[in-house]
Amino acid sequence: MHIQKRINRFYYTRPDGYPQIRVHHKKGAGKKMPRYLLKCGCCDGKLEIYYDEEGLEINGVNGSIDDWREILLPLLRIEKELGYEKRSTSNKKTLMG
């Protein structure tokens, strides 16, 4: 997995006007898993994502990669071309289960 290089300056704004998320990566060493640290572009908020071949831990919540796909891909509006059904955001029952 590779994420393109980003400018990690505080409050660096994107062309759409939003502050750009600052991304930092640490390689795994010994028993520690590799991780991405995502920091808010305008405050001190952060999100830690630890990963391996089997699953992800996002801010302390463990789950399989397939579970995270089912939750996150519809939120990112990634549609059927990746093999996932497009879900309507107006029907909360289908999103919340």
Return the DSSP state at 50.
E
Q: Is the dihedral of CA 84, 85, 91, 96 positive or negative?
A: negative
Backbone φ and ψ of 93, nearest 5° = -65, -35
> Cβ(84)–Cβ(73) under 8 Å?
yes
Please give the chain's pLDDT, 97 residues, in tens: 566 667 777 777 778 888 888 899 899 998 889 999 999 888 889 999 999 988 999 999 999 999 999 999 888 887 655 554 444 444 434 444 4
Structure tokens at 87: 């879900």
